[in-house]
Amino acid sequence: MIQKTLSIVKPDGVKRNLIGKIVAMFEDKGLKIAAMEMKLLSKKEAEGFYVVHKERPFFGELVDYMTSGPVVVMALEGENAVLRNREIMGATDPAKADAGTIRKLYGVNVGENTVHGSDSPENAAIEIGYFFPSSKIF
Ligand code: CMP
């Protein structure tokens, strides 16, 4: 089943010049870039994006971190893209991520974990719509 999912290269990934390496991992593993934009999230944008986590104790830290530098927001497309992207990223905590995954290779800690990816097809549609109008998705 061909799906789309949202990926974000987080500020730690952009700062450490990892955009190309991360994009290459997606492309090498069969996901196509359907939309892409580099941007500095406003506090409002980051709070809205992570609204499901607003009651979590780390919410403030998460928003501060995600607005600390530019990010690269992408829509990825491919066979089972939501699950495929999660496999390529690895577990949220880099210490628990499988060998060869983005978070194992590059993640610093659970906050600075280099990439975000949608966790379900329903959230993928919401998250892609949050950043991209349909005219910007190819
Ligand atoms: P992400 O996939 O972007 O979705 C929510 C983010 O919250 C998650 O990745 C982590 O980076 C972050 N997060 C989860 N748990 C913690 C935590 N205990 N402390 C700080 N950040 C966290």
> Where exactly are the structural domains of the chain?
2-132
Give the 3-state secondary structure of the chain: CEEEEEEEECHHHHHCCCHHHHHHHHHHCCCEEEEEEEECCCHHHHHHHCHHHCCCCCHHHHHHHHCCCCEEEEEEEEECHHHHHHHHHCCCCHHHCCCCCHHHHHCCCCCCCCEEECCCHHHHHHHHHHHCCHHHCC
Is the overall model pTM greater than 0.75, yes or no?
A: yes
What digits encode the pLDDT tens for the residues 110-136?
A: 999 999 999 999 999 999 999 999 999
- The domain at 2-132 falls in which architecture? 2-Layer Sandwich (3.30)
Pocket probe mutation, ligand 1, options 51, 67, 88, 92, max atoms within 8 Å of Cβ: 92
In the structure, what pLDDT confidence band is assigned to residue 10 with cuts at 50, 70 and 90? very high
Mean pLDDT of 83-110: 98
Task: Determine the distance separating the centroid of ligand 1 and the alpha carbon of 135, expressed in angstroms.
Answer: 30
Task: Determine the distance separating the centroid of ligand 1 and the alpha carbon of 123, expressed in angstroms.
Answer: 16
Pocket probe mutation, ligand 1, options 49, 62, 63, 106, max atoms within 8 Å of Cβ: 62
